[in-house]
Amino acid sequence: MDFVFHLNSRSTIALYRQLYSELRLGILAGRFEAGARLPGSRHLADSLGISRMTVNECYERLASEGYLETRPRSGTFVCKSLPDLSFSPASPGIRESVPQSRFLPRLSRYGAAVNAPLRRPDSPGIIRLNMHGPDVVNFPVNLWSQLQNRRMKSGRSDLLDYTQHFAGDIQLRHAITMYLRKSRALICGPDQVIIVSGSQQAIYLTARLLLNEGDVVAMESPGYRLAAKVFSSQGAAILPIPVDAHGMKVSELKKHGARAKLVYLTPSHQYPTGVSLSRGRRMELLHWARKSHTLILEDDYDSEFRYSGRPLPSLQGMVDDAPVLYTGTFSKMLFPSLRLGYVVVPRSMKNAFTSAKMLSDFQSPSFEQAVLADFINERHLEPYIRRMRTIYGRRRELFIHALKKHFGSRVKILGDNAGVYVMAEFKTNLSQSEAHARTFRNGVSLEQLYWPGKAPPPRAGRVSFVCAFAGRTDAELPLAAELVASALL
């Protein structure tokens, strides 16, 4: 690859000066890396259409100034340590303390709403009970590798090219349809299934397709922070609906939600309380939604992991042609960085959803979709889910047992016996934020509850946290419980 230079033969500045500045600034800016070999003077002169002497003079002057060094019989190299220390080239890590740009963008209202620094990565030592990923250590990487190999070497070059199916790989959509009909009782055809990059994209695109600025979206309170952020950054007004032991209080929605265009909820395993929406409320919600012409976004993010009791069927499948968008993800079933999920849409929304997906990122990666279709079709998914269900069930017990050992009656575990996390309520004299800070200092990162709208007044002597146990090892969980106890007791 040739280096590119900004030389202008029609400029009034001599070519020698231009090349000199270019090289010097390029070295200081890190464009030419420390230790990098520069092109030979003859080669560079030829490619730039300038004399070799000009190049040699530049190289010599920069060498005398400490930017370059010439090694006999090897060539000219950028010095490893540079004269202007204040301009050292970018280090291999991502520098955070960089000079701010003079350029101030005129952001849109959306741009202004999202313009905030993101959370910094946790330090490596911390036990991250705030991360909702599954266990990835037990993932069958050898099997996945085999499937990848087979697909990559199959000679099917269409898997590498642009897709013609923006809603996703047909085999994968069919496999997901069969899985959802069977295990989640959905009523749908593969034409209604659209492949997205995880349920985050499903939530984002749904909001984009439904909500104008000022529109109302109802969601559970406490609820899922990132969904709320998607809605509010798009200018929607959030109507928080309280949750009790039977899930979202649909009566409250009916009372206050007349203007809601969208209801976002997690009926199978409410996030974060872990309860499931009762059958009565489900039917009430569906009837109300149909009557009031409101769409429901059913986020079924971890319903695969239910350790006792009868699994509840999806809201989408309870009535025919339900006013429901149903989303699920392979982030919890397989691994999160795969970025494949699905949304099942009413037939009247197929075109709009597929177009919105296409305009936002053209398509999801084809190759991974084909590998995933093979994984499902060759009957690896269901045994893997069963296996992980056993592991997570055990970890849940292990963690709760350890908490009870330390806290006794001073801890209460909420929600159903299901999912990748538990919500725990602790008796303590600390405030919620003190408790969070102390457990963090002890080396455990717990998740705070998120209340869209106004949080209820704190209950004296009690604090609550979400504890995501599924991705933590059997060894980490008792340790985490002990560290939480020593922080709160």
Return the residues of window 393-412 that contact a second copy according to CB under 8 A: none
Strand order in 462-468's β-sheet?
A: 411-414, 421-427, 462-468
Residue 302 CB, shortest distance to a second copy, in Å, is 14
Cα(158)–Cα(270) distance, integer angstroms:
41
- Nearer to a second copy by Cβ, of 385 and 430: the residue is 385
- Nearer to a second copy by Cβ, of 239 and 312: the residue is 312
Q: From the list 50, 67, 132, 333, which residue makes contact with a second copy (rule: CB under 8 A)? A: 132
Q: From the list 247, 257, 267, 323, which residue makes contact with a second copy (rule: CB under 8 A)? A: 323
Residue 209 CB, shortest distance to a second copy, in Å, is 4
From the list 392, 413, 400, 486, the residue with the least C-alpha distance to 443 is: 486
- Nearer to a second copy by Cβ, of 359 and 489: the residue is 359
Residue 414 CB, shortest distance to a second copy, in Å, is 24
From the list 180, 179, 167, the residue with the least C-alpha distance to 351 is: 167
Which residues are within 8 A (CB) of 136 and not within 5 positions of it... i.e. 6 or more apart? 335, 336, 471
Residue 415 CB, shortest distance to a second copy, in Å, is 20
CA angle 245, 246, 251 (to 5 degrees): 115
- Nearer to a second copy by Cβ, of 285 and 463: the residue is 285
Q: From the list 43, 255, 291, 386, which residue makes contact with a second copy (rule: CB under 8 A)? A: 386
Q: Take residue 343 and report the two structure tokens written for it.
A: 């949304």
| Dihedral sign computed on CA atoms, order 72, 73, 79, 80 | negative
Cα(241)–Cα(453) distance, integer angstroms:
9
Residue 434 CB, shortest distance to a second copy, in Å, is 25
Q: From the list 68, 176, 349, 423, which residue makes contact with a second copy (rule: CB under 8 A)? A: 349
Instruction: Report if residue 34 touches a second copy, rule: CB under 8 A.
Output: no
Report whether 296 contacts 285 (CB < 8 A): yes
Binding positions for a second copy, 178-197, rule CB under 8 A: 178-179, 181-187, 189-191, 196-197
Instruction: Report if residue 428 touches a second copy, rule: CB under 8 A.
Output: no
Q: From the list 5, 16, 307, 440, which residue makes contact with a second copy (rule: CB under 8 A)? A: 5
Residue 439 CB, shortest distance to a second copy, in Å, is 19
Q: Take residue 204 and report the two structure tokens written for it.
A: 């984002």
Binding positions for a second copy, 217-236, rule CB under 8 A: 226, 229-230, 233
Instruction: Report if residue 126 touches a second copy, rule: CB under 8 A.
Output: no
- Nearer to a second copy by Cβ, of 243 and 296: the residue is 296
Total residues contacting a second copy by CB under 8 A comes to 142
Instruction: Report if residue 445 touches a second copy, rule: CB under 8 A.
Output: no
- Residue 151: helix, strand or coil by DSSP? helix
Q: From the list 71, 86, 105, 409, which residue makes contact with a second copy (rule: CB under 8 A)? A: 105
CA angle 265, 267, 234 (to 5 degrees): 10
Q: From the list 242, 365, 393, 443, which residue makes contact with a second copy (rule: CB under 8 A)? A: 365
Instruction: Report if residue 258 touches a second copy, rule: CB under 8 A.
Output: no
Q: Take residue 122 and report the two structure tokens written for it.
A: 């946790």
Cα(12)–Cα(8) distance, integer angstroms:
9
Cα(459)–Cα(457) distance, integer angstroms:
6
Instruction: Report if residue 418 touches a second copy, rule: CB under 8 A.
Output: no
Query: E strand or H helix at 465, and its extent?
Result: strand 462-468
Report whether 55 contacts 44 (CB < 8 A): yes
- Nearer to a second copy by Cβ, of 218 and 322: the residue is 322
Query: E strand or H helix at 413, and its extent?
Result: strand 411-414
Residue 258 CB, shortest distance to a second copy, in Å, is 14
Looking at the DSSP bridge assignments, the partners of residue 76 are 70
Which residues are within 8 A (CB) of 266 and not within 5 positions of it... i.e. 6 or more apart? 220, 223, 224, 298, 299, 300, 301
Cα(357)–Cα(226) distance, integer angstroms:
19
Residue 235 CB, shortest distance to a second copy, in Å, is 10
Binding positions for a second copy, 106-125, rule CB under 8 A: 106-111, 114-118, 121-122
Contact flags string 279-298 toward a second copy, x per CB under 8 A: x----------x--x-x---
Q: Candidates 60-68, 332-340, 398-406, 440-448: pick the segment binding a second copy (CB under 8 A).
A: 332-340
Cα(227)–Cα(433) distance, integer angstroms:
23
Instruction: Report if residue 163 touches a second copy, rule: CB under 8 A.
Output: yes
Q: Candidates 28-36, 51-59, 243-251, 436-444: pick the segment binding a second copy (CB under 8 A).
A: 28-36
Taking the CA atoms of residue 267, residue 270, residue 276 and residue 278 in that order, the dihedral angle to the nearest 10 degrees is -60
Cis before 272? omega within 30: yes
